C-alpha cells in the first residue's frame, strides 16, 4: 500500500481528523511510527494494511469505539 493510499483509506475508515492518533493508540504504536507510514518514509507493514482492509468491511456502528472516537 502506498503512503497516499494509506492516508486516504485510513482517514476514511477512522473518520478523518485525528486518525493517526487513533490508529497509533489502537495498535499500541508510537504516533511517529504512524506518521512515518503516512509520509512514505517507512513502508506500511502488511499487518497494518490487513487491519485497514478489515475495518473497511465493518459497518461504522459495529467498529470498536477505540477506533472511531
Q: What is the pLDDT of residues 33-61, one digit of tens each?
A: 999 999 999 999 999 999 999 999 988 88
- Compute the Cα dihedral for 54, 56, 57, 61 and give only its sign: positive
Domain count, the chain: 1
Q: Is 61 helix (H, G, I), strand (E, B) or coil?
A: helix
Residue range of the domain that includes 27: 3-68
Q: From its phi and psi, is residue 53 left (phi > 0), alpha (psi between -120 and 50) or beta?
A: alpha
pLDDT at position 15 is 81
- Check if the beta carbon of residue 4 is closer than 8 Å to that of residue 42: no
pTM of the predicted model as reported, rounded to 2 decimal places: 0.84
Amino acid at each position: 500500500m502506498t503512503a497516499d493510499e494509506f492516508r486516504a483509506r485510513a482517514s476514511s475508515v477512522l473518520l478523518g481528523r485525528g486518525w493517526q492518533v487513533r490508529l497509533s493508540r489502537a495498535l499500541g504504536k508510537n504516533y511517529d511510527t504512524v506518521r512515518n507510514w503516512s509520509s512514505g518514509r517507512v513502508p506500511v507493514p502488511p499487518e497494518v494494511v490487513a487491519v485497514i482492509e478489515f475495518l473497511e468491511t465493518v459497518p461504522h456502528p459495529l467498529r470498536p469505539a477505540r477506533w472511531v472516537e
